């Protein structure tokens, strides 16, 4: 699909309450089916039946399954952006590295524990539009900049430390929650272990600075 095609993926946006409810029902049904069946088992006819709407009604808003996936990814990413917005002020107010680590780990765990099966499919199976990928990159960059700013008073190579902390936390949480067949690890156990590991790393580079 071309970039222009993606920009027109949703034919018309719902304005009335009934139309908004229809779109919400379609997206909810689509997310459930995508999480359960994966990309190969995902199609608009099944989504329409699950949502209780005609295929014609579905196509008024979503001309194909790629448009549906982009809408699901958009909702999922919006949650991450909201978490990042809340974390940004917490990073700025953090007085010590332990607080920075806690905010980072709690945010990443919160994002990944929300419907891990859907997260797994979105991250590994479906084709995501360039716009969504660009937003993911911006989200990562914003998180790293926030962490780096908070660590500036404590470590020398704060940008490097921030990127390492974010990427390690993201990879570890993704692996535990998403890649292991969607098996749901206990969030507090993972968060606790990650925080101990990362605080030890910060403590080590603080002493060498």
**142-195 pLDDT tens trace:** 999 999 999 988 888 899 999 999 999 999 888 887 766 545 567 788 889 999
pLDDT at 159: 94
Residue 151 CB contacts under 8 Å (≥ 6 apart), including other chains: 97, 100, 158, 161, 162, 202
pTM of the complete model beyond 0.85:
no
**Is the model's pLDDT at 2 over the cut of 80?**
no
Q: Kindly state the DSSP code that residue 135 receives in the 8-state scheme.
A: H
For the chain, give the percent of residues with pLDDT over 90. 44
Could you give the CA distance from residue 209 to residue 196 in angstroms, rounded to a whole number? 20
Least confident of 9-18, 34-43, 110-119, 191-200: 9-18
pLDDT computed for residue 123 by the predictor: 84
pLDDT score at 169: 93
Q: In the predicted model, what is the mean pLDDT of residues 25-52?
A: 94
Residue 63 pLDDT: 92
Structural domains of the chain in order of their starting residue, each with its CATH number? 7-63 (1.10.10.60), 71-208 (1.10.357.10)
Q: How confident is the model at residue 13 (pLDDT cuts 50, 70, 90)?
A: low
What would the mean pLDDT of 61-89 be, rounded to a whole number?
A: 88
Residues 12-50: b if buried by 16+ CB within 10 A, e if exposed: eeeeeeeeeebbebbbebbbbbbbeeeeeebebeebbee
Q: Is 110 exposed, middle or buried (0-12, 13-18, 19+ CB in 10 A)?
A: middle
Q: Sign of the C-alpha dihedral, residues 123, 127, 129, 133? A: positive
DSSP conformational letter for 148: H
Kindly tell me if the per-residue pLDDT of 197 is higher than 90: yes
Q: Average pLDDT, whole number, for the chain? A: 84
């Amino acid at each position: 699909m071309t970039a222009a095609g993606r920009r027109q993926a949703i034919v018309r946006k719902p304005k009335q309450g009934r139309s908004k409810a229809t779109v919400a029902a379609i997206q909810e049904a689509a997310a459930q089916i995508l999480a359960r069946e994966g990309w190969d088992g995902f199609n608009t006819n099944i989504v329409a039946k699950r949502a209780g709407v005609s295929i014609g009604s579905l196509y008024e808003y979503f001309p194909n399954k790629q448009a549906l996936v982009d809408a699901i990814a958009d909702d999922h990413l919006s949650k991450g952006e909201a978490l990042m917005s809340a974390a940004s002020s917490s990073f700025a107010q953090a007085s010590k590295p332990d607080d920075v680590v806690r905010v980072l780990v709690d945010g990443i765990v919160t994002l990944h524990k929300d419907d891990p099966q859907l997260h797994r499919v979105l991250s590994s199976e479906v084709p995501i539009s360039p716009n969504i990928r660009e937003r993911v990159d911006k989200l990562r960059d914003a998180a790293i900049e926030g962490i780096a700013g908070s660590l500036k008073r404590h470590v020398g190579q704060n940008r490097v430390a921030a990127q390492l902390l974010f990427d390690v936390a993201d990879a570890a949480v993704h692996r535990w929650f998403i890649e292991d067949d969607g098996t749901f690890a206990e969030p507090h156990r993972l968060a606790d272990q990650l925080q101990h590991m990362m605080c030890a790393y910060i403590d080590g580079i603080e002493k060498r600075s």
